[in-house]
Homo-oligomer: A and B are copies of this chain.
Amino acid sequence: MFDIDKDKVNDECGVFGIYSKHTGTAVAQQAYLALFALQHRGQESCGIAVCDDGLIRHHCDLGLVPDVFSRDTMESLGSGNISIGHVRYSTMGTNIRANAQPLVIRHIKGAMAIAHNGNLTNAVALRKEIELAGAIFHSSNDTEVISYIITKARLTASSIEEAVETAMGQMQGAYSLVIMSPTKLLAVRDPCGFRPLCMGELDGDIIFASESCALDSLGAKFVRDIEPGEIVVADKDGVRSITTHCKKRKSGLCLFEFIYIARPDSTIDGVSVHSARLRAGALLAKAYPIDADVVIGVPDSGIDAALGYSRQSGLPYGVGFIKNRYIGRTFIQPTQGERELSVRIKLNTIDTTIKGKRVVLIEDSVVRGTTTSWIVNLVRKAGAKEVHMLVASPPYLHPCYFGTDVDNRGTLIAHKMSVDEICRHINADSLHYLSLDDVEKIAEGSMREFCTGCFTGDYPLPVPAAGEKNRFEYRISDVDR
């Protein structure tokens, strides 16, 4: 299927957790509403686990939140005092139910539910080590590896949080975790803080979520971001922080959270996502003043950057596209070879904005470049005299090992072509990218440093060598006999 959203950097997950001092609370319903607000972080599968006075119930499945959770399912989850939830995006081919989270497991000291956003860089090595000790795995995701590392540590630890503290010494990579034990809720962020994770509060209940928009959807108050390397524990004695792993490393917050992944109404580590996108547009305007008639953005993320460009440049801002509000699991596709139609089902032009104009067209990013030429083509068909393409991020040149789905350098258009070649390929009159210097300024005022590995190849942590597998392989035909 040819999908215009496929040319994007997709985050693999969103996580949520709530701890209430009162049993019989509608914590599953809160998780539902929060996951609904985090749905943009993962549309493939979702799940909720509820702890009802020590007893854990859970339900996960493939599908969007409103489809997976029916009235009956919600009733069967019931009320409780703790709940965690998860939404998951996944790369093609591992779209199976076994990978849906939260993962609920039983170990010697009890049960545990875990929801994970990120990607371990040493998961393959860790898994091999664990398997050599006789362990078995049910899934291909590294959340199961994490649950093993914690469980092993738990054997000798005096508490779940101590086990997590120990486990963090072994895990490398990106992980924003929400963990539920029969009596506690934990939020954990890796020492680089690749993925966001924040804390909120609602009538005394403690809430953790990937993005602040989930807090807003519950009417909860934003309290603070979880620090890179921090463990926050919520239980009957209140909230406390374990900071053993904090500040050991330079932080490396993912810039793509601002560029594309996060919702514009979220604030991450001190910076409004919407403002960051406006700033990206303004920086483009300063760097590339263009003699044009209108500035239009490609929905959704390009729109904010277009507005930023317009404000800085004084060029009029226009609405050039309309996106179909009802996009979902439409299985029907125009016949092969008619890619333009495939784009048009989701995205149509507003011709009065474009006709006869010299257009500045702003995209948040160009990753694989599969749809850009068709979008330029739509704008030309709508009557644009010139199309100047501006990209609100630098050329995407290197794979990401920290929680997005861009794991193969070979598919990256900027790796295969020069900017001039891309410009000709997409049939634009000019093409410019935000510079590396500028992209680091978009999250101005953040309390963190950033990971720019995908632009520079320079990562905050060692990454697997080229050719080395960073994912578990299902195919095992060469093994067990």
Contact = CB atoms under 8 A, between A and B. Distances in A.
Interface of A: 26, 29, 32-33, 36-37, 39-40, 43, 53-56, 64-66, 69-72, 74, 98, 103-112, 128, 131-138, 140, 147-148, 151-152, 154-155, 159-160, 181-184, 213, 216-219, 235, 263-265, 267, 272, 274-275, 300, 303-304, 307, 311, 316-317, 319, 321-322, 324-326, 328-332, 334-335, 338, 340-341, 344-345, 348-353, 472, 474-481
A348 B265 contact: yes
Contacts of A345: 33, 36-37, 217
A183 B133 contact: no
Nearest to A330: B66
19 contacts: A36-B330, A40-B325, A54-B478, A54-B479, A55-B475, A64-B328, A66-B331, A108-B132, A108-B134, A111-B474, A133-B134, A134-B155, A182-B479, A219-B340, A235-B481, A263-B348, A264-B322, A265-B349, A272-B352
Given A216-B344, A272-B351, A300-B325, 14 more contacts: A36-B345, A65-B330, A106-B472, A108-B134, A109-B479, A109-B480, A110-B479, A111-B476, A136-B148, A216-B349, A219-B334, A235-B481, A265-B350, A274-B353
A107 B136 contact: yes
B349 A136 contact: no
A138 B105 contact: yes
Nearest to A332: B32
Contact of A264 (B316, B319, B344): B319
A154 to B, nearest CB: 8
Contacts of A70: 331
B350 A272 contact: yes
B138 A152 contact: no
Contact of A160 (B155, B324, B481): B481
Contact of A216 (B71, B136, B348): B348
Contacts of A136: 105-107, 112, 147-148, 151
Contacts of A135: 107, 134-135, 151
Contact of A54 (B274, B326, B331, B477): B477
By Cβ-Cβ distance, the 7 closest A-B pairs, closest first, are A54-B477, A110-B480, A110-B479, A108-B131, A134-B152, A105-B136, A110-B476
Contacts of A159: 481
B29 A217 contact: no
